Every structure is written in structure tokens, then in C-alpha cells.
Amino acid sequence: MRVIDDAGEMLGVMNTKDAQQLADEKNMDLVKVSPNAKPPVCKILDYGKFRYEEIQRLKEAKKNQKAVVIKEIRMSVRVEEHDINVKIKNCIKFLEQGNRVKVAIRFRGREMAYTEQGKDVLLNFAERVADLAVVEKSPKLEGRNMVMYLAPKKDK
């Protein structure tokens, strides 16, 4: 295996027993850093300190992540103009907050015969918020619901 000491200097290729003995002399641990390499790369270091720094690095990365929130807006096939305007206003508010929006139409009873009208309502909705949103998933029928996903545009 290829061995690197605690200062970061390459000690060369040696067998496992010699590398472990070298680590024991320095009162440190022999840790496989890259086990898939040919030959595997090991580093002589303090494993407790290594684990602590790794955990700190993961915490910092987690702090910088942003949770993806999906807000849902429900409509029906027979939605009126004023209702659509209210839903669009709410959708714009969600998009400005940086959230994704799931726009759904529920088909009840005999409304299943009007799935094309439902698709038209969703596409019209998407056109009206096109300046703030991009259609992430186009309208698709899932059981008795037709669903479309909108995401906020990146260029602001």
C-alpha cells in the first residue's frame, strides 16, 4: 500500500505490517484514505481528530444546504376566472419565496371525461406565471388528478 505520513509527505509503497509499525511508533493510526486505488492509499494520522474534522465539514455543508419545499395549489375543471386569479397570486407568492409549486386538478365523478379541458386549464395557468416560473413537469394524469410542477426561474 502507498503510505502518506502525518505531515502529508509520501513515504512510498510498503507492506501493511511495516506501515502499521510506523504508525504505532508515532502513536497514531493507519487509515485507508483511498481503498479503491491501485495500490490502496493509507495515511498516518490521529483518527479521533480526523473523525472530528470530518463531522465538522459535514455540519458546515449541511448548514449551507437549502430544503426544497413544494407548495400545492388545487383547482377543479370548472374553475372561474376570479378563482384562477387568486390561485395565480398565491402561486406568485410561493415562487418569489423560492419554493416549487405543484398545481393539481381533481376530477370528480363524471369530470373524468373532461381531462383535455383540465390540461388546458393547467397550461393556461402556466402561461400566466411564465415570467416567474418554468414548467418542471408538464401536466400528467395520475389517477383522478392531473398534476403539473412549476419551479422558480433562476435568472432574477
pLDDT band of residue 133 (cuts 50, 70, 90) is very high
Q: Span 119-139, mean pLDDT?
A: 93
Question: Which of 97, 142, 105 minimizes the C-alpha distance to 122?
Answer: 105
Separation between Cα atoms, residue 150 and residue 141, nearest integer Å: 16
Taking the model in full, what pTM does it have? Answer: 0.59
Domain housing 21 = 2-62
Last residue of a domain, one of 11, 43, 62: 62
Is it the case that residue 135 has pLDDT exceeding 70? yes
| Same-domain pairing of 146 and 80 | yes
| Same-domain pairing of 42 and 86 | no
| Same-domain pairing of 74 and 147 | yes
Is it the case that residue 156 has pLDDT exceeding 70? no
Query: For residue 24, how far is the Cα from the chain centroid?
Result: 42
| Same-domain pairing of 17 and 46 | yes
Q: Span 51-78, mean pLDDT?
A: 89
- DSSP strand pairing (100-106 vs 41-45): unpaired
Lowest mean pLDDT among 35-39, 125-129, 133-137: 35-39
Last residue of a domain, one of 14, 46, 62: 62
Question: In total, how many domains does the chain have?
Answer: 2
CATH at 99? 3.30.110.10
| Same-domain pairing of 53 and 78 | no
Residue 33: predicted pLDDT:
85
| Same-domain pairing of 58 and 37 | yes
pLDDT tens for residues 35-63? 888 889 999 998 898 899 999 999 988 88
Lowest mean pLDDT among 55-69, 87-101, 126-140: 55-69
Separation between Cα atoms, residue 96 and residue 85, nearest integer Å: 16
